[in-house]
Amino acid sequence: MNIFAQATYIFFMARKHQTLGEFIIENQSEFKYSSGELSRLINSIRLAAKVVNHEVNKAGLVDILGAAGDTNIQGEDQQKLDVMANTTFINTLKNREIVCGIASEENDDYITVEGHNDDHQNKYVVLIDPLDGSSNIDVNVSVGTIFSIYRRITEAGTPVTLEDFLQPGRNQVAAGYIVYGTSTMLVYTTGHGVNGFTLNPAIGTFYLSHPNMQFPEEGQIYSVNEGNYVHFPQGVKDYIKYCQEEEGNRPYTSRYIGSLVSDIHRNMIKGGIYMYPKSSLNAKGKLRLLYECNPMAFIAEQAGGKASDGFTPILDLKPTELHERVPFFCGSSLMVNKAEEFLANSYK
Ligand code: AHM
Ligand code: MG
């Protein structure tokens, strides 16, 4: 495309399609505390996502540009991508006068953000999994960022406490994920449905590409690490066998990327269930309630889907520690209902 054609194309795109920036401003009033802070917070996540996207896209050039631990041409140390993503999101969030605390899957403890005047007036806490599925990077498979936002429950003017982070998922005011895939997408909810935005890398702009995303009520995909089958509880084994039986719309298709964001994203579009059950190896499963399950559960419910630990809705669980793990069943509502039915029956 010559420069003129490119400029015309960009102008056309900009007029025809809504950008994430426009969408955030236009929908700001839907939010009950609408003072613009949450919008600014989501804007800062959008910015960090673009930086991380840029780095993730270069991951395949590691032999050419230098591996983690090397020193680059400017004399800076090359960071591992998950460390880089963590630092990028934390720094971007810290530099806004909105966030009073950040907890990350990458850090043992939460970070207190004092605010510019050290007065602890900021109202929001953010919980983040900066680069989920990062073991997939070496083999060029999609990875993601997951975020979750709450209003603090302790009084402004005092430092944030653990209590502000250990709120039930039901209290989330916003949650979302970024999938760094064949396209980079940012998908989020503020409790008024779920919308997906695709990055046009040529101009660094997210466009609304998937308005009002909905989990189909019923699907035909089941996503689980079947290598762990022998270690699963009987109810999960029974449900997997049910998925494989030939009857009605079954057998279902098995699809497991091993990258939570991508697996959930695909199932939300096509219809399916994602499962990470407990097992005889992991008594509480693998996934983290605060950084992975709660935000995904909020998105799932907002998209008409369902998420539970097999018995209780994820959003109703009361967290007890920052890095708590929980079994996770998430997806099309009728499929999650069926999995729960098998689990309940196995304990009768
Ligand atoms: P991580 O937070 O260490 O990246 O682990 C989370 C990931 C999820 O993205 C994925 O669904 C799951 O772990 C895969 O685990 P497994 O390899 O045990 O199937
Ligand atoms: Mg993770």
Q: What is the CATH number of the domain that holds 292?
A: 3.40.190.80
**3-state SS assignment for residue 129:** strand
Segment (H or E) for 336: helix 333-346
Q: Give the residue, by CA position, lying nearest to ligand 1 atom 12.
A: 258
Domain-embedded: residue 63: yes
153 in the same domain as 256: no
Tell me the pLDDT band of 10, cut-offs 50, 70 and 90.
low
- Tell me which of 49-63, 308-322, 331-345 is least confident: 49-63
**Whether residues 337 and 295 fall in one domain:** yes
Q: 59 or 134: whose pLDDT is higher? A: 134
How many Å lie between the centroid of ligand 1 and the Cα of residue 103? 19
What's the rounded mean pLDDT across residues 122-129?
Answer: 96
* Closest listed residue to residue 301, CA positions, set 226, 199, 192, 198: 192
Give residue 348's pLDDT: 75
Residues 257 and 153 in one domain: no
Domain containing 283 equals 221-346
From 260, 267, 279, 282, mutation site for ligand 1 pocket: most ligand atoms within 8 A of C-beta: 260
**Do residues 196 and 234 share a domain?**
no
Cβ of 134 closer than 6 Å to ligand 1, yes or no, is yes
Q: Which of 135-149, 215-229, 296-310, 330-344 has the lowest mean pLDDT?
A: 135-149
The answer to whether the CB of 82 is under 6 A from ligand 1 is no
Q: Which of the listed residues 166, 191, 210 is the one where a domain comes to its end? A: 210
DSSP states along 202-253: TTTEEEEEE-S----SS-SEEE--GGGGGGS-HHHHHHHHHHHS-BTTBSPE
Contact 236, 282 (CB under 8 A): no
What's the confidence (pLDDT) of residue 72?
A: 53
Distance separating alpha carbons of residues 126 and 249, to the nearest angstrom? 41
- Asked if residue 286 has its Cβ within 6 Å of ligand 1, the reply is yes
**Helix, strand or coil, per DSSP, at residue 130:** strand
- State the pLDDT confidence band at 58, using cuts at 50, 70 and 90: confident
Share of the chain above pLDDT 90, in %: 77
Q: Which of 348, 347, 339 is nearest to 237 (CA)?
A: 339
Decide if 229 is inside a domain: yes
Among 178, 210, 242, the domain boundary falls at 210
Do 230 and 167 share a structural domain?
no
Query: Could you tell which of 146, 286, 322, 325 is best to mutate to test the pocket of ligand 1, judged by most ligand atoms within 8 Å of the CB?
Result: 286
10 Å CB burial of residue 184 (0-12, 13-18, 19+) is buried
- Mean pLDDT, range 38-62, rounded to an integer: 89
Return the pLDDT at 71. Answer: 59
Among residues 210, 242, 263, which one ends one of the domains?
A: 210
* Higher pLDDT, residue 267 or 28: 267
pTM: 0.92
Nearest atom, ligand 1, residue 129 CA:
2
Would the CB of 133 count as within 6 Å of ligand 1? yes
**Are residues 203 and 240 part of one domain?**
no
What 3-state class would DSSP assign to 76? coil
Look at residue 216 and tell me if it is in a domain: no
**Ligand 2 centroid, distance to 39 Cα (angstroms):** 25
Confidence band, pLDDT 50/70/90 cuts, at residue 97: confident
Q: Can you tell me the distance from the alpha carbon of 268 to that of 245, in angstroms, rounded to the nearest whole number? A: 23
Q: How far is the CA of 32 from the centre of ligand 2 (A)?
A: 30
Q: Once rounded to an integer, what is the mean pLDDT over residues 123-135?
A: 94
Q: Average pLDDT for residues 106-131, to the nearest whole number?
A: 93
Is the pLDDT at 270 greater than 80? The verdict is yes
Question: Is the domain of 225 the same as that of 306?
Answer: yes
Per-residue model confidence (pLDDT) at position 69:
64
Q: Residue 274 has what pLDDT? A: 98
- Per-residue confidence at 79, pLDDT binned at 50, 70, 90? low
Number of domains in the chain: 2
Higher pLDDT, 65 or 62: 62
- Written as six digits, the tokens of 178 are 């970024």
CB 292 within 8 A of CB 286: no
pLDDT of residue 237: 98
- Per-residue pLDDT, averaged over 114-138, amounts to 91
Same domain as 195, residue 62? yes
Query: Do 333 and 257 reside in the same domain of the chain?
Result: yes
Distance 288 CA to ligand 2 centre (A): 7
Q: Does the Cβ of 106 fall within 6 Å of ligand 1?
A: no
Nearest listed ligand to the Cα of residue 286: 1
Q: Is the pLDDT of residue 7 over 60?
A: no
Read off the tokens for 97: 């006068």
DSSP H/E element including 283: none
CATH number at residue 109: 3.30.540.10
**Ligand 1 centre from 229 Cα, in Å?**
16
Instruction: Evaluate whether 108 touches 162 at the Cβ level (below 8 Å).
Output: no
From the CB of 235, is ligand 1 less than 6 Å away? no
Q: Are residues 325 and 276 in the same domain?
A: yes
Q: Are residue 135 and residue 244 in the same domain, yes or no?
A: no
Do the Cβ atoms of 335 and 273 come closer than 8 Å? yes
Q: Is the residue at 215 inside a domain?
A: no
279: Cβ below 6 Å to ligand 1?
A: no
| Centre of ligand 1 from the C-alpha of residue 147, in Å | 16
pLDDT bucket at 75, cuts 50 / 70 / 90: low
